[in-house]
Amino acid sequence: MNGRQVRLQAVRRMAQSSLKVLSLAGRRSEELRAVVAHQADERIVDAVAERFRLPDPLMVKCIRDAGNTTAASVHLARRPPTHP
């Protein structure tokens, strides 16, 4: 597997699906107050934010603290992990 190609494909598909969801909801990216993406690769999340010209604080990122979270991303975004 070519990691670079996989990452580019992930960014492309995430951007396309995000646009589709926004369209179906009758919304624009400028209306977003937060974006909670699957926390698997911070570079993918950053690249999608760049494509949408979203400011960094709008992108919920907890991968550095929690690792790859699979389906728990939303829950962690609401209550980030605490450190002892």
Q: Which residue blocks in the chain are alpha helix, DSSP H?
A: 3-25, 42-52, 63-66, 73-78
What pLDDT, in 10s, does the model give residues 20-72?
999 999 999 888 888 888 777 888 889 988 988 888 888 877 777 777 766 66
Looking at residues 4-15, what average pLDDT do you find? Answer: 91
Closest CA to 62 of 48, 49, 47, 75: 75
With beta carbons less than 8 A apart as the criterion, state whether 37 and 45 touch.
yes
Indicate if the pLDDT at residue 15 is higher than 70: yes
**Which of 32, 64, 68 has the alpha carbon at shortest distance from 48?**
32
Q: In the prediction, which pLDDT does 84 show?
A: 47
Give pLDDT, residue 76: 65
Q: Please give the Cα distance from 65 to 42 (Å, whole number).
A: 12
pLDDT at 42: 85
